[in-house]
Amino acid sequence: MNRCASSVRSALARPASRAVRTAFSRPAAISSSPFLRSAFSATARPQSVPVCRCFSSTPSRLGNEPGKYKIGQLSDREYHDVSNAAMDHLTEYLEEKLDELDVDGSDVEYSSGVLTVKLGDRGTYVINKQPPNKQIWLSSPISGPKRYDYDLDHRVWFYHRDGDLMHDLLNRELRELLGDETISVDLAEEED
């Protein structure tokens, strides 16, 4: 390609590139550009965007009222108290339940805020405290990673994207993986 054709092509591309850059940095610029105005008006804008769960093996749980729970403003001490209680309850319960069910290759290990629950060939859960975010992170062999926040009023760990509670997810998945409907994970803090 000769130098002249290249400079003409880049000279033609500059105004279009500038218009797009301007439109995205200043939405009001769309109305002042005839090219962008026609492009944007020709596209239909949906009133609500459907939830895409392309990389998830579980369905959307929007029926759980995502707005029902709110992220509590926990002090560091409060966060450590409620997260330690949840992790301790979970560790103790899973150790007892997996011993009772005698699951091949199972192991429960809790160290430095990280709980690893191995279920043999059924997969591994990793549940860990995240003090900087005041969250508990859970990685599931079924549903993948999730980040749970604490609601002070309801005293529950919930996933803010869909309102699902951590203990509900664990109950559902562990019942499915282990084939035991009596599994009942409880992460509630004990009353003094």
pLDDT in tens, 54-102: 454 444 444 455 578 889 899 999 999 999 999 999 999 999 999 999 9
CA atoms within 13 A on the CB side of 175: 11
Count CB atoms within 10 A of the CB of residue 178: 17
Which structural domain range is residue 18 located in? Answer: 3-42
Supply 162's token pair.
Answer: 């869909």
Q: Which one of 8-22, 163-177, 178-192 scores highest in mean pLDDT?
A: 163-177
pLDDT digits (tens, 9 = 90+) for 5-23: 555 455 555 555 555 444 4
Helix axes 3-25, 34-42, angle to 10 degrees: 60
What pLDDT, on a 0 to 100 scale, did the predictor assign at position 67? 73
User: Which residue is associated with the tokens 């009222």?
Assistant: 65
Residue 113 lies in a domain: yes
Residue 28 lies in a domain: yes
What pLDDT, on a 0 to 100 scale, did the predictor assign at position 40? 46
**Plot region of 26 (φ>0 → left; ψ -120 to 50 → alpha; else → beta):** beta
The neighbouring-strand residues paired with 130 are 135
Looking at the structure, tell me whether residues 38 and 75 fall in a common domain: no
Using a pLDDT cut of 70, give the percent of the chain over it.
63
Looking at the structure, tell me whether residues 136 and 97 fall in a common domain: yes
In whole angstroms, give the CA distance from residue 188 to residue 5: 70
In whole angstroms, give the CA distance from residue 78 to residue 42: 52
Residue 174 lies in a domain: yes
**pTM of the predicted protein model:** 0.64
Looking at the structure, tell me whether residues 134 and 172 fall in a common domain: yes
CATH number for the domain spanning 163: value is 3.30.920.10
How much is the average pLDDT of 24-43?
50
Looking at the structure, tell me whether residues 99 and 165 fall in a common domain: yes
Looking at the structure, tell me whether residues 82 and 169 fall in a common domain: yes
Residue 52 lies in a domain: no
Looking at the structure, tell me whether residues 23 and 82 fall in a common domain: no
Total residues found in the chain within this entry: 192
Looking at the structure, tell me whether residues 85 and 156 fall in a common domain: yes
What pLDDT, on a 0 to 100 scale, did the predictor assign at position 72? 85
- Strands of 97-165 (E only): list them: 106-111, 114-119, 124-130, 135-140, 144-151, 156-159
- The answer on pLDDT for 175 being more than 50 is yes
Looking at the structure, tell me whether residues 12 and 101 fall in a common domain: no
Domain count, the chain: 2
Residue 188 lies in a domain: no
User: Residue 116: which pLDDT band, with cuts at 50, 70 and 90?
Assistant: very high
- The answer on pLDDT for 115 being more than 70 is yes
Supply 3's token pair.
Answer: 């130098």
User: Residue 118: which pLDDT band, with cuts at 50, 70 and 90?
Assistant: very high
Looking at the structure, tell me whether residues 83 and 159 fall in a common domain: yes
